[in-house]
């Protein structure tokens, strides 16, 4: 016999899904797999669950908000992440509280304060200390973006080892002999992994890599700073692997401004495949990563923790060959 007092959370426990999924099924909003929908509907019918607007909100969420913590907000990369995250949060009726840690001396304390106002938190890799992530994870669900999970319950990253394929392409397919890497491995788990892939490609090709990367930030202006260190010296590299598209574009524009030809005098490559990469001339060879999918997957892990696996999720990336490395087949 049905019990009208059964709660949304109890239905979720019986069906083996999250409260958010029960809410979705009862409202018929976001698509749910047929198997899960049938299971939830069967439990609802057997137990006579009658959703209450306020009761559902209280059972499903404490705050109805998710936190999103970034090192900064400038540039197309973070813009894409925010849009992908907010679009997914909209599907579950969650608001998004964004915290940028740049220029903050009290980032860890601010993140801990944010944890009291949200139901789950996405933290970009390299933003806050491991100890802080562990403290937040004791209170709410935490998913780390662009890094391994560590003390968080899960992580979502894009594969950085495609840089090995890119570097091999420059060394072997084009025959470039003096490569440079632009980026600061110590400042980002992603950049660290890309530098390691760059070194691995040199080892596999039995070539000697540069002793150190060109340590600059990840904005277009940092690419111009890298140009001053790379392009004005006598032993200028004949190819450069940049940690992201923004620095690659800054370097490319600086090279053209110096009267250098790209790729004839220096080949330049990036990572991300931002829209501008295909629009500049020469078009930028880069690695395409699914930035919006990365953010959307992170939001789903926070919204439906019982329906999603814990651990590390790795999204594939793709080498995109264009003119800036010497490939003429793709504009």
Q: Which of 231, 225, 248 is nearest to 166 (CA)?
A: 248
> Running DSSP on this structure, what letter comes out for residue 210?
P
Spatial separation of the C-alpha atoms in residues 174 and 323, rounded to whole Å: 12
Kindly state the tokens that stand for 115.
Answer: 């944890």
Spatial separation of the C-alpha atoms in residues 251 and 134, rounded to whole Å: 38
Kindly report the backbone phi and psi dihedral angles of residue 113, in degrees, each rounded to the nearest multiple of 5, phi listed first.
Answer: -65, -40
What sections of the chain are H helices per DSSP? 8-15, 19-27, 34-47, 53-60, 76-91, 107-115, 130-137, 162-168, 189-204, 220-230, 245-257, 275-279, 291-303
C-alpha dihedral (278, 126, 139, 142), degrees to nearest 10: 30
Q: Please give the model's pTM, rounded to 2 decimal places.
A: 0.80
- Neighbouring residues of 175: CB distance < 8 A, sequence distance ≥ 6: none
Spatial separation of the C-alpha atoms in residues 170 and 207, rounded to whole Å: 12
Spatial separation of the C-alpha atoms in residues 214 and 167, rounded to whole Å: 16
**Residues 152, 157, 160, CA angle at the centre, nearest 5°?**
135
pLDDT tens digits for the chain (331 residues)?
Answer: 344 456 777 888 888 887 777 777 776 655 678 888 888 888 888 887 766 544 444 444 457 899 999 887 778 999 999 999 999 988 777 899 999 877 577 888 999 999 999 989 999 998 888 999 999 998 889 999 998 888 888 999 999 999 999 999 999 999 999 999 999 998 789 999 999 999 999 999 999 999 999 999 999 999 999 999 999 998 999 999 999 999 999 999 999 999 999 999 999 999 999 999 999 999 999 999 999 999 999 998 988 665 555 678 999 999 999 999 999 754 4
Kindly report the backbone phi and psi dihedral angles of residue 327, in degrees, each rounded to the nearest multiple of 5, phi listed first.
Answer: -90, 125
């Amino acid at each position: 016999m049905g019990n009208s007092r059964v709660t949304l959370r109890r239905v979720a426990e019986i069906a083996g899904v999250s409260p958010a999924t029960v809410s979705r099924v009862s409202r018929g909003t976001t698509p749910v797999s047929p198997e899960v929908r049938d299971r939830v509907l069967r439990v609802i019918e057997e137990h006579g669950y009658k959703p209450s607007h306020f009761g559902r909100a209280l059972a499903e969420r404490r705050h109805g908000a998710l936190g999103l913590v970034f090192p900064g907000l400038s540039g197309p990369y973070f813009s894409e992440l925010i849009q992908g995250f907010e679009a997914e949060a909209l599907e579950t009726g969650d608001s998004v509280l964004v915290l940028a840690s740049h220029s903050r001396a009290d980032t860890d304390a601010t993140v801990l304060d944010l944890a009291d106002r949200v139901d789950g938190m996405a933290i970009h890799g390299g933003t806050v200390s491991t100890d802080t992530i562990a403290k937040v994870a004791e209170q709410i669900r935490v998913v780390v973006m662009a890094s391994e999970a560590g003390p968080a319950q899960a992580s979502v990253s894009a594969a950085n080892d495609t840089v090995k394929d890119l570097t091999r392409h420059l060394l072997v397919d084009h025959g470039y002999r003096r490569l440079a890497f632009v980026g600061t491995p110590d400042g980002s788990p992603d950049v660290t992994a890309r530098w390691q892939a760059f070194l691995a490609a040199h080892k596999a090709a039995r070539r000697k890599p540069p002793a150190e990367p060109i340590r600059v930030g990840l904005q277009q202006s940092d690419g111009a700073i890298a140009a001053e260190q790379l392009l004005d010296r006598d032993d200028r590299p004949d190819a450069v692997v940049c940690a992201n598209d923004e620095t690659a574009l800054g370097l490319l524009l600086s090279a053209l401004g110096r009267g250098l030809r790209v790729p004839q005098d220096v080949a330049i490559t990036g990572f991300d495949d931002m829209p501008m990469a295909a629009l500049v001339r020469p078009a930028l060879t880069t690695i395409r990563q699914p930035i919006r999918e990365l953010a959307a997957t992170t939001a789903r892990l926070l919204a439906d923790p019982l329906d999603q696996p814990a651990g590390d999720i790795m999204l594939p990336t793709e080498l995109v060959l264009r003119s800036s490395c010497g490939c003429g087949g793709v504009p």
